[in-house]
Amino acid sequence: METLFGSIFWLIITLGVLVTFHELGHFWMARLFKVRVLRFCVGFGKPIWSRYDKQGTEIAVAPIPLGGYVKMLDVRDCDVPAEELDQTFNHKPIWQRFLIMVAGPAFNFILAFALYWLMFVVGKNEIHPTIDEPTALMAEAGFAGKDQLLSIDGEDIRTWSDVSLQLITAGIDRRDVTVEVRTATGTQLNRTLYLSRVPEWVPEEKLIDHIGLKAYTIPVPAIMDELEAGLPAAKAGLQQGDEITAINGQAVTDWYDVTDIIGAIKTGPINVEFLRNGLPQQVQVPALMTDPDDSSRKILGVRSQPPAEADLNYYRGLFFNLSYGPLESVTQAFGQVGKITSKSLEMMWKLVTGKASLKNLSGPITIAQVANDSASRGFSWYLSFLALVSLSLGIINLLPIPMLDGGQMLFLLFEKIKGSPLSEQFEMKAQFIGMFLLFSLMSLAFYNDILRSVT
């Protein structure tokens, strides 16, 4: 329940900030060209709060936080006295109307740059992308445990997010990539990852797992530490020093397998196979028990032995603070905006051409969940997330789809070529098509969100 309320709260904050800034771009540019703004509204629906500024513009907040709008004086919407025609949107030159439309997405790009700049100045706790023992294609390519990824096809890699950006897009194309690594001994060398060998049926969301890429984790053997007498495991006869080898028939190789398998169990009994003094044994635990400290969790009542100090020290050494000075952060922020924009456009093109699955589309539910997760990680993580969504909002609004800013800009281009305004009938039909497209995409995004939530 706490997670649900947190997700809703951070969704409202996220969309509130981004929509307000987007509409502020339209509002500011309209005012610059002396277009009368009748209403500046954040959200859809009947306003739940409003006030008027000194120039007569209604500033309003509506209850549905999935967008907003700037309503400008326009002769197509109402009768306008002749002396006020110069304040209407449709009587302004095409280039001014074009700038008013492009200002919304432009403000999202400006906001994203500012957020990335602040993130780099404040600093963000990250971890060097270092791999665990590889399998599948990674192992075939010669990668080894504790290899630190430095670059992919010449693009510098600093974080796991950088790794995902590079590998997912290359993987969709089934394009082989050259990866520069620093080995556990400190040697730098290049290895070729043959993504062309990934079968076509492997979806993008399974690509990283399929190629055998795993982040480094501290080795923790499935050997039990001291058990609490009143919990299910101790009652069933398990003891300190027992090494778990299987749970309900599923093989266990380390403690991470133990936690994953137990976390997926809904009901008992639970069959636990283990080694005691080198001899295989088996017990049956009737059922899991509700965690006294967390009623939403079920527990078996086992805990691992502490990992080796050397492994702990190595893992701690992988963490670093991704930060720069105020001036250098300007360059870094520009670079981040450029990189994310490029990868986003590339992914959109793959969606349009069918190379990428429409399952990649996400809606408000996913945004809410990720917003809550990033906020819980810290201020800089939330800044990074907010910048990413701001860029996405800016890019999407530039698409040449009626109902979006890009569609309105396309209409203005047609008007310039035609030499006269487009007919209202044509615009209405185009708006209807645009509304249908947007509704279809939003429905698909909602469907994907729900599917992710229940699987």
Q: Give the up-direction half-sphere exposure of residue 321: CA atoms within 13 A in the CB hemisphere.
A: 10
The DSSP-derived string for 270-289 is EEEEEEETTEEEEEEE---E
- Are 38 and 75 in contact, with CB atoms under 8 Å apart? no
Which is catalytic among the residues 2, 23, 205, 226? Answer: 23
Peptide bond into 269 cis (omega under 30): yes
Contacts of 18 (CB under 8 A, 6+ apart): 108, 111, 386, 389, 390, 393
23 is annotated as an active-site residue = yes
- Are 126 and 162 in contact, with CB atoms under 8 Å apart? no
- Are 98 and 410 in contact, with CB atoms under 8 Å apart? no
Over its C-alpha atoms, the chain yields an Rg (Å, rounded) of 28
Q: Return the C-alpha torsion angle 198, 356, 116, 43, nearest 10.
A: -150
Residue 243's region, left for phi above 0, alpha for psi from -120 to 50, else beta, is beta
Supply the residues annotated as catalytic: 23
